[in-house]
Amino acid sequence: MTIITSGKRRHRDPIVCIMLNGGRVTSGFRAALFDAASRAGVSVNEFVLTAAADKLRASGSQFSGVFEPGDLAPAEG
């Protein structure tokens, strides 16, 4: 996950923590998730958050980025 210093940020959107716990999945799903993150060259957390951001963007939500502004392509339409 990219760490952003305040001097490098282009926008004033604050960086906040997200606390998720209690997630339980099947071992097959977990293995597929870890494999996909590994193939993408990112942490599992980064992979999951980016996937969630892609889904939110596709459903019309608007936000600046995931890890830093510009991480996601602009929404279509």
User: Which residues 6+ apart lie within 8 Å of 61 measured at CB?
Assistant: none
User: Which residues 6+ apart lie within 8 Å of 37 measured at CB?
Assistant: 43, 44, 46, 47, 48
Rounded percentage of the chain residues whose pLDDT exceeds 90 = 38
Q: What is the pLDDT of residue 1?
A: 45
Chain segment 29-48, per-residue pLDDT in tens: 999 999 999 999 999 999 99
Instruction: Name the residue among 70, 36, 40 with its Cα closest to residue 53.
Output: 70
Q: What is the pLDDT of residue 33?
A: 96
pTM beyond 0.85: the answer is no
| Residue type at position 33 | L
d(CA 65, CA 77): 18
State the pLDDT confidence band at 76, using cuts at 50, 70 and 90.
low
Chain segment 59-75, per-residue pLDDT in tens: 998 887 777 777 776 66
